Structure 1
């Protein structure tokens, strides 16, 4: 997306026509920007996915979390006790999010 340096409006793209190269033109003033027909990629940059850090890690849940009756959703566990912590991660008029960690298998899950 390009903008006109004269008036600030968004430039419109025009395809090449009868020997004229493609160009950007301003719809309100006479500004025209000619484009090269060849596009060269100078460098490819590979994106690396960042590791997501948990809101609560295992140590935080064991130290600051309280125990409650909650059934673990892990298919092979189903244990009925878990640590839990609540935090307000959405707007104030929404309920708090509860994070759980199973006491047996240490699986973590949340309920909004």
Structure 2
């Protein structure tokens, strides 16, 4: 949890004073002693490949190539290329297995 100064709205920093921790404003002469340890962790869900590529609709009119599926060893896969990084980086190639029972997604 991020704490802000109630007077100037600046971020309060953790500072050690006389062996105890306190939240201190760098602008105002304000401090709040920390009385208990508070730990929060947020784990955000990463996007799936289908969410990034646009779902099942994005795979409708794509070409296939001879690329072996790492999951089922099917010899062909659909592919599409997207610019996922800056313009001076190469495009990322995404594959989807042509085997309808597998439909495994991976990238190169």
Normalised to the residue count of structure 2, the TM-score between the two structures is 0.61
1:16 aligns with 2:18: yes
**Residues of 1 paired with 2:13 and 2:37: CA distance?**
22
Question: The residue matched to 1:52 in structure 2 has which SS?
Answer: coil
Instruction: Structure 1: give runs of 5+ residues left out of the alignment.
Output: none
CA contact (8 A) 1:64 1:85 kept: no
Root mean square deviation, CA, Å: 3.9
Instruction: Structure 2: give runs of 5+ residues left out of the alignment.
Output: none
Moved over 3 A (4+): 1-6, 21-26, 44-51
Out of 6, 20, 35, which is 2:32 matched to? Answer: 35
**Residues of 2 paired with 1:46 and 1:11: CA distance?**
19
Query: Counterpart of 2:88?
Result: 93
**Residues of 1 paired with 2:34 and 2:57: CA distance?**
58
Greater radius of gyration (CA): 1
